[in-house]
Chains A and B, each alone.
Chain A
Amino acid sequence: MSEVLIADDSEFMRNLLREILEEDHQIVGEVENGVEAVETYKEQRPDLVMMDIVMPIRDGIEATDEIKSADPDASVIMCTSVGQEEKMKEAVKAGADGYITKPFQKPSVMEAIEDVVPS
Chain B
Amino acid sequence: MNVDIQSLGTFNQLAHEGAEQATASMAQMTGIAADVDVTKISLVNREDIGEELGDREFVGVRFGYEGELSGETVLVFDSDCTETLVGELLGGSPGEEMARSGVEEIGNIMMSGFIDGWADYLGTTIDHSPPEYVEGTGAGILPPAPADAESDQVFVFKSRIEWLEESVEFYIYMLPEYTPLAEVMAEHADTESDAIPIDKLEVFNEMTTDGTERAADNVEMMTGIDTEAEVSQISFAPIEDVPKQVGNDTYVGTVVEFTGVPSGFMLVLFDEASARTVAEAMMPVDVEGEELTDQHKMAIEELGNIMTSGFVDGWANVLQTSVDHTPPRLVHDMGQAIVDPLAAQVGQHQEHAFIIDSKMVTDDVAFESEIYALPNEQELRQALDELLVERADETEADAEQIFQE
Contacts and interface: CB of A to CB of B under 8 A. Distances in A.
Contacts, number: 81
Given A81-B305, A84-B317, A87-B322, A12 B402 contact: no
A112 B228 CA distance: 29
Nearest to A57: B327
A99 B320 contact: no
A97 B403 CA distance: 8
Contacts of A9: 327
Contacts of A80: 309
Q: How large is the interface on A (under 10, 10 to 19, 20 to 34, 35 or more residues)?
A: 20 to 34
Contacts of A83: 309-310, 313, 317, 396-397, 399
Given A12-B299, A103-B218, A84 B397 contact: yes
A86 interface: yes
B326 interface: yes
A103 B322 contact: no
A26 to B, nearest CB: 21
Nearest to B402: A88
B221 to A, nearest CB: 4
B332 interface: no
A77 B241 CA distance: 44
Interface string B316-335: 11001111111100000000
A90 B322 contact: yes
Interface in A1-33: 9-13, 19
Contacts of B295: 12
Contact of B402 (A11, A89, A103): A89
A96 B402 CA distance: 11
B256 to A, nearest CB: 8
Contacts of A102: 218, 306, 309
A92 B396 contact: no
A59 B403 CA distance: 20
A6 B305 CA distance: 18
Most buried by B among A80, A81, A84, A89: A84
Contact of A101 (B284, B320, B399, B405): B399
A92 B402 contact: yes
A80 B402 CA distance: 16
B302 interface: yes
A101 B396 CA distance: 12
B316 to A, nearest CB: 4
B298 A10 contact: yes
19 contacts: A10-B301, A10-B302, A12-B282, A12-B302, A56-B327, A82-B313, A83-B309, A83-B310, A83-B313, A83-B317, A84-B317, A85-B316, A85-B317, A85-B402, A87-B322, A88-B402, A92-B402, A102-B309, A103-B221
The 4 A-B residue pairs with the shortest CB-CB distance in the complex, in nearest-first order = A81-B309, A85-B397, A86-B322, A99-B399
Given A10-B305, A84-B323, A97-B403, 5 more contacts: A81-B309, A85-B317, A88-B399, A92-B403, A99-B403
